[in-house]
Amino acid sequence: MLMKVVVALGGNALQAEGVPAAAETQLKVVRDTAVYLVDMIEKGNEIIIAHGNGPQVGRIVIQNEYAAQVTPAMPFDVCGAMSQGMIGYHIQQALRDELVKRGIKKPVATIVTQVVVDKNDKGFQNPTKPIGPFYKEEEAKKIIKEKGYAMVEDAGRGYRRVVASPKPEKIVEIETIRRLVESGQVVITVGGGGIPVIEKDDNTLEGVAAVIDKDFASEKLAEDLDVEVLMILTAVDRVAINFGKPNQKDLSTMTVEEAQRYIEEKQFAPGSMLPKVQAAVKFVKSKPGRKSIIASLGKAKEALVGKSGTIIK
């Protein structure tokens, strides 16, 4: 059965580990990613693409800080917009080229997307969203002392800066996105979770220093567009419990009730698998018949037909 799918791309779809974080290397990785995305399109599925921006926006902030003596640093929300445009440009170029290569006539468009958050969201009091590169413990301590950043250990991979991560409440450009999707275009949107903005009393918008988790933004997008499937792509083939332990168990399916029990048992790492499972559960609960899939990028096509990944139902 052909489906309308919101595809949330993880960091491995945008940047390879162990190579310089340059624009050229990012584009190369994105071109590989485009192959898997067009595989799904070629089967007749309609996909809407969302993506993260943690490493990219972190590097943009660093570039701004180091150049502050030469030109004024941009606010954090502007850095988020810059990362959204940069990543969107790479994805839409790579997708367009892959579609042309296969003889598929389908326009691709990136929408610079604002997402409304609550200015009183508790996320502003407790920063949890990792951004930027990984640091060794000694480097992290130095950065904390020099810049006053909040830094946390991230799933055994090193230390990263964390910023506020409020929940998405409304996608500002949703009608534009919907019309493009209905016209048959491949839309890249809510990049990096969207540019976080608050609604002021006079109904104007104001950017805030935060990063919305791309999994929650993707879930909101999937609800608003009333798609059948939310697909969250990551670096592992399936969700696992007892991850990294001798009794690790990979899950091909997971009910909402099972997922909630595993969350209570703290089976999933915050800032890593936890928001993916939480977003997947929220989407499934939002309307009967909806399905979430958490899978690896390389097996996205197989996961869509139940041959890989973890299906949440």
Active site residue 136: no
Active site residue 276: yes
CA-based R_g, the chain, Å:
19
Active site residue 122: no
| Sheet with 114-116, side-by-side order of all strands | 170-171, 114-116, 195-199, 205-207
From the candidates 54, 88, 129, 298, give the one annotated as an active-site residue. Answer: 129
Instruction: State the Cα–Cα distance between residues 283 and 35, nearest whole angstrom.
Output: 26
Annotate 252-308 with DSSP letters as a single string.
SEE-HHHHHHHHHTT-S-TTTHHHHHHHHHHHHHHSTT-EEEEEEGGGHHHHHTTSS
Active site residue 147: no
From the candidates 58, 123, 214, 282, give the one annotated as an active-site residue. Answer: 214
From the candidates 11, 52, 58, 88, give the one annotated as an active-site residue. Answer: 11
Q: What are phi and psi of 266, to 5 degrees?
A: 60, 45
The DSSP 8-state label assigned to residue 135 in this structure reads: E
From the candidates 12, 28, 170, 207, give the one annotated as an active-site residue. Answer: 12
Helix (H) or strand (E) holding 162: strand 159-163
From the candidates 276, 282, 291, 301, give the one annotated as an active-site residue. Answer: 276
Tokens at 13, concatenated: 């779809």
Active site residue 214: yes
Residues with catalytic function: 11-12, 129, 214, 276
